[in-house]
Structure 1
Amino acid sequence: MAGEDDAGRASAGFEVATGTGSLPEGSGRGREAAVQAAFEGLLQIRRLMNTSDRLPAEWERRQPVRAVALALEAAGISPSATDSQGRRVATGYCVGATDQAGIVRVEWLGPPGGGAAYAAQDELRGCVAVLGQLGWEALEYRGPRGRRYLEVEPASPPLG
């Protein structure tokens, strides 16, 4: 993604795990350290731009998929993943854009027969708790066949 705005990256080469593709490169402590460094960078940007780290900064509002995915991964929640044929190979969160600007969808997905649908309610509640602490509002919905998902948007700053 050469030439793109690096706001979603902690350093060259780091990309957040949205759960929509393959598992992120790197694993274990190396990946954890990169995620934590990116997340600390996000909080620093918030403090510089907002005077608080409790509400999403403007660049997060412009790139909510990356911001939400980074927040979830930094909290230790695992992303889902697919293989090269698009088959789900890992259970976890999956963050994607919606038709509405600034609103993202968070699902709990996994391989067929892996029980992701049964775990979705509890796992999504955990996502709501993490995101709520970081100034994101998340509402749970049910889609086709009763599948649960969240719609997430930045909270509005307090008036006055």
Structure 2
Amino acid sequence: MAEFEVATGAAELPAGDDRGRGAAVRTAFEGLLQIRRLMNTGATDPGGVPAEWERRQPVRAVALALEAAGVPPSAVDAEGRRTATGYCLGAAERTGAVRVEWLGPPGSGAGYAAEEALRNCADVLRRLGWDALEYRGPRRHRYLEVEPPPAPGGGG
């Protein structure tokens, strides 16, 4: 069985059919929630805060959360041309933070849809205990910076 690969939006879409992919995403996300319940035993809501695994691999964790919520990932082809409109993740400048952009192929209107799409991404992630702030970069390009809240005991 092939290893499950998250869709970050920065590469080609993972291979496989849509139903099989959907099932794999649901299974992986349920596993993530189980990790939260097992690892966050001291939390008021153990499923409501990122676990240590997510803190160590924030891009993977955020990608899984977004895809499990039905938010589409962007993608590029083998030559690096954008082929799908959706979220695109990468490491932010701050350690442990994730940059979330809304990107699409030329002419797709992704820039116009970015405000609402990123607001939806932020809502999904906040419900799962992540901190998400919207910023504007050069040419008013919108993006989110997402990070887990400080770890209990100040170890964040």
Q: Name the TM-score, length of structure 1 as normaliser.
A: 0.89
- The letter for the 2-side match of 1:65 is V
Residue 157 of structure 1 and its aligned partner are, at CA, apart by 5.3
Residue 13 of structure 1 and its aligned partner are, at CA, apart by 1.5
CA distance in 1, matches of 2:149, 2:114: 23
Q: Give unmatched runs, 5+ long, in structure 2.
A: none
SS in 2 for 1:53: helix
The residue that corresponds to 1:69 in the other structure is 63
Matches within 5 A, 1:81-160: 81-156=75-150
The residue that corresponds to 1:40 in the other structure is 30
CA distance in 2, matches of 1:42, 1:64: 12
SS in 1 for 2:8: coil
- How many residues end up aligned between the 2 structures? 149
2:54 to 53, 60, 65: 60
CA distance in 1, matches of 2:17, 2:9: 15
Q: Is 1:25 equivalent to 2:19 in the alignment? A: no
Identity within the alignment, %: 70
Residue 99 of structure 1 and its aligned partner are, at CA, apart by 2.4
CA distance in 1, matches of 2:63, 2:98: 10
Q: Name the TM-score, length of structure 2 as normaliser.
A: 0.92
Root-mean-square deviation (CA, aligned residues, Å) is: 1.3
Q: Give unmatched runs, 5+ long, in structure 1.
A: 1-10
CA distance in 2, matches of 1:99, 1:128: 18
CA distance in 1, matches of 2:2, 2:16: 14
Would the aligned equivalents of 1:55 and 1:157 in 2 still touch at CA under 8 Å? Answer: no
Residue 124 of structure 1 and its aligned partner are, at CA, apart by 0.3
